[in-house]
């Protein structure tokens, strides 16, 4: 998505530790017009009319998912919650996710009542790096018996293993920008740049 790549070039900041900061338009302050275009693009990439729910993970995925849902017949958005104390009363699906940016491992939960075998789920997230977050969400959807229509990712760091890992499991992943190389001096090199 050209608009997004231009914006990453203009406002993205490459930090130590292989982290791209996009907090001026995505992860802290949010550019709604840009995210609206992302929603429109996700719809173009996933025209499947049977998608009836979007799943994401707190916190940064929520805004993107909510705007995207408006292009999917205003379907409900469910966000997986990060928690310290796992609820073991059987009411939730849970999985463990290692955070790329914080290095910590979280228990992540979704209430069972909000996912069912009749659902066809589109997963939305901001970044795909090592794939832990996405694999965790896939794990939760599989536990519920729901179908996975695919995953829509805003920024995929294509030189990390996540994309390959998830695609090798047969899950369709569509990323709006794929970064193949990134360093503070030369900036970002995108997959389809010449």
Q: Site residues (CB under 6 A) for ligand 5GP?
A: 19-22, 27, 60, 100-101, 125-134, 162
CB of 93 to ligand 5GP, least distance (A): 18
CB of 72 to ligand 5GP, least distance (A): 20
Please state, in angstroms and rounded to a whole number, the distance separating the CA atoms of residues 132 and 140. 12
CB of 176 to ligand 5GP, least distance (A): 14
CB nearer ligand 5GP, residue 41 or residue 156: 156
CB of 57 to ligand 5GP, least distance (A): 6
CB nearer ligand 5GP, residue 115 or residue 133: 133
CB nearer ligand 5GP, residue 93 or residue 100: 100
CB nearer ligand 5GP, residue 24 or residue 130: 130
């Amino acid at each position: 998505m050209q608009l997004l790549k231009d914006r990453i070039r203009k406002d993205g900041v490459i930090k130590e530790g292989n982290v791209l900061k996009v907090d001026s338009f995505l992860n802290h302050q949010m550019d709604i017009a840009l995210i609206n275009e992302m929603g429109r693009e996700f719809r173009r990439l996933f025209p499947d009319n049977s998608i009836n729910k979007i799943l994401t993970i707190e916190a940064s995925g929520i805004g993107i998912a909510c705007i995207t849902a408006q292009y999917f017949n205003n379907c409900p958005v469910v966000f997986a919650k990060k928690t310290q104390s796992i609820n073991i009363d059987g009411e939730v699906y849970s999985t463990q996710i290692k955070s790329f940016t914080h290095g910590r491992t979280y228990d992540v939960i979704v209430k069972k009542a909000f996912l069912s075998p009749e659902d066809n789920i589109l997963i939305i997230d901001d970044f795909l790096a090592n794939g832990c977050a996405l694999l965790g969400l896939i794990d939760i959807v599989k536990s519920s018996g729901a179908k996975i229509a695919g995953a829509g990712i805003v920024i995929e760091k294509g030189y990390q293993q996540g994309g390959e890992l998830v695609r090798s499991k047969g899950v369709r992943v569509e990323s709006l920008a794929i970064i193949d190389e990134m360093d503070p001096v030369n900036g970002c090199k995108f997959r389809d740049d010449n």
